[in-house]
Structure 1
Amino acid sequence: MEEIYQPSPAAEVPQTFEFKGKSSELFGIQLPNWVLTVVTFGVYYPWAKAEKLKYLYQKTEFAGSRFKFHGTGKEMFKGFIKAMLVFAVLYGVLMACVFSGSKGLILGGMFFFYFGLAALIPVAIYGSMRYRLSRTSWRGIHFAFTASLKEIYVTCIKGMFLSIITLGIYSSWFAVALRKKIVGNIRIGNIRFEFDGEGSELFMIHLKGYFLSMFTLGIYLFGYMAELHRFYFNNILIEQNGNYSRLEANVNGAGYFKLLAGNILIVIFTLGLGTPLVTVRTMRYVINNCELFCNLDLENLEQAQTDGIDATMEDVSDILNLDLV
């Protein structure tokens, strides 16, 4: 799809992103959140997560305007409870089978547990994307996610099946197909997103990254991570009225080494209390090194429908550690 990207003369000057958060401010938010989460045995976690997201969004700027996160701790708490009930059922069935002492029941319980987790992945992707985007706005216009749960399930089932029978070889194509389905259903007003990366390109990045990291005793690992970063960002297209724009991430191996080495040292020497600084450093590196070569009519945006979307699968995606976009 490279041929469809035709920037206009206005795109010669890119629009930049900027993260303006400070570690001291984030620490002031997270410290009481940590304490409250501990003393409430985790019950306060949804409110803590909502406060952190609101801060990070409000400190992210594009074209002179900040993003906003409108989700609430109450919404996330309801979703958190539902998510915990789902996992409690899966784990409860597994434990009941284990304590039965029957090998047949134990195998059946394990199958039920892992099949249940696999079946939750598409639901978690769908629910999390719908909720997170519906609660995200820029200049008062909310984002939206337009894919159906059926579409996500079909993509995941096909990808998982082909990845298994090819002993993992198809996983790069699966990752790209899922990314296309997710990114391709993001909307804000009359602006829509696309992902035009190819599975073969991602496969070669993984292949090169694996062997060069091994042969260089891990030195190339940072270059590998930077190349993956550029692949996932630089293949995002944004279309409005037939005009296409493209994101561009300006990251490299040296930058990744400096970021990750610094983050590890901060966590170690602060005994984990420096995680707000780690978050701010990471956000700055990712966001401040991203540009949008565009010719968008930013005044011609329409409000997306956001009613009736709950946060049920927002925390499931956290628990399953799904990196969605």
Structure 2
Amino acid sequence: MESSTSPIIEQSRHAQVEFSGKAGEFFGIWIVNILLSILTLGIYSAWAKVRTNQYFYGHTRIEDQPFRYLAKPLQILKGRLIAVALFASYFILSAVAPIAGLLMALGLMFLMPFLIVLSMRFSMRMTSYRNVRFDFHGSYADAFINFLLLPILSIFTLYLLMPWVLKRIDQYLHSNISYGGKRLQVNNDAGTYYAAVLIIMAVVTGVIMTAVILGFVIAFLFPFSFGAEWAMVLVFGIILLYWLILMLSGAIYKCMIRNHLFSRTVLPDTASFASKMQVMPYLWLTVSNLLAILCTFGLAYPWARVRKTAYLANATSLTLQPGIDQLVDTVQQQTAAFGEEAAGLFDVDISLA
């Protein structure tokens, strides 16, 4: 009689991203970083960046396994010095020879996609989880098309092409990330980007119309002579309304696109992702963080950053496949920090949602 054995089917498992950082702990790191950076005329800022990233990475966990930030301060410092030298050269050249400065600015515009590639590559290779590093494989040609050529072309369509461009940018950034030799597969949909823009336009129109109607009602019920005091109130009200619209638009776009992008991204045979951000809680988080920072003259920044990081972690979960336990580190080469530092210096900031 033959005995049959049934194979053991390994099951996928759910994992929640957790963040255990504390505002008080980070405040101590943050204030020391600022003081030492001032005393060393900015040189310590490289060490400050490493300490900050190590704190936030180390307190972000999946299945009780923390992320790690592997960059060394001297890597950051070297890249930062090169970036500062490049910026200083542009500033001096623009002051001495404006035409030459304009030509250099044009050259820097074409350099921007290259800086983005270097920045992403450095950031990914300096990030590890379970002793396996991430990597970035994006090319300069694709970066040039997505970050420079297509945004310029969208101007000639009255920006009607911009949601599609933003979709391509997100796809380029995320689909070129790999972990343990496996690349993320991203299938985001341009329709969601257009829907987000249309919803923002509808909400903004509604808020403006409500404010105008409310203004007329108040003016009708409480007639007043328009003087300097009321002019100041009107200006303040317009600024407040603009700020509220800006924050609300950002919250709608961030929540819709992040949730969509995570739901359409998988790491083959390894993990799938989910995001459950909600507009009003995220709007309140953003507004209250900003108000706290303004009211405390910046001292609430550590509290605000820890609070936002904790919210994003709580809104993020994964479905892990057994294959994640067999991944090994495939990143063999280190990359320079110049791209990351220069990109930040020239306000080329890449944010992975």
TM-score using structure 2 length: 0.79
The number of residue pairs the alignment matches comes to 306
Deviation at 1:233, TM superposition (A): 4.2
What secondary structure is seen at the aligned counterpart in 2 of 1:147? Answer: coil
Deviation at 1:268, TM superposition (A): 2.3
Equivalent residue, structure 1, for 2:267: 239
Equivalent residue, structure 2, for 1:293: 319
Deviation at 1:227, TM superposition (A): 4.4
Q: Is the 8 A contact 1:70 1:136 kept in 2?
A: yes
Equivalent residue, structure 1, for 2:206: 215
Equivalent residue, structure 2, for 1:80: 80
Bigger mean CA deviation after superposition, 252-261 or 146-155 = 146-155
Q: Mapping of 1:1-325 within 5 angstroms?
A: 10=11, 14-98=14-98, 105=99, 109-110=101-102, 112-217=103-208, 222=248, 225-236=251-262, 237-241=265-269, 245-319=271-345, 320-325=347-352
What secondary structure is seen at the aligned counterpart in 1 of 2:324? Answer: coil
Deviation at 1:212, TM superposition (A): 0.9
Bigger mean CA deviation after superposition, 301-310 or 54-63 = 301-310
Equivalent residue, structure 1, for 2:219: none
Q: Distance in 2 between matches of 1:35 and 1:300?
A: 44
Change (3 A) 1:200 1:95: farther
Deviation at 1:173, TM superposition (A): 1.5
What secondary structure is seen at the aligned counterpart in 1 of 2:184? Answer: strand
What secondary structure is seen at the aligned counterpart in 2 of 1:298? Answer: helix
Deviation at 1:137, TM superposition (A): 0.5
Equivalent residue, structure 2, for 1:3: none
CA RMSD of superposed structures (Å) = 2.4
Per-residue CA deviations over 1:192-237 (Å, capped at 9, x if unaligned) read 2132222332123123203312322466753762443342343231
Change (3 A) 1:109 1:211: farther
Per-residue CA deviations over 1:164-189 (Å, capped at 9, x if unaligned) read 32232222212211221111111111
Q: Which has the larger radius of gyration?
A: 2
Q: Distance in 2 between matches of 1:97 and 1:64?
A: 57
| Paired amino acid for 1:270 | T
Per-residue CA deviations over 1:13-62 (Å, capped at 9, x if unaligned) read 63110111001111111111100111222222111111100100000001
Structure 1, unpaired ranges of 5+: 1-7, 99-104
Structure 2, unpaired ranges of 5+: 1-8, 209-240
Q: Distance in 1 between matches of 2:203 and 2:140?
A: 39
Q: Distance in 2 between matches of 1:227 and 1:161?
A: 22
Q: Distance in 2 between matches of 1:93 and 1:280?
A: 41
Deviation at 1:300, TM superposition (A): 1.1
TM-score using structure 1 length: 0.86
| Paired amino acid for 1:324 | S
Q: Is the 8 A contact 1:190 1:240 kept in 2?
A: no
Per-residue CA deviations over 1:66-123 (Å, capped at 9, x if unaligned) read 000011111000000111122122222221234xxxxxx3xx643x254234223212
Change (3 A) 1:299 1:163: same
Change (3 A) 1:94 1:131: same
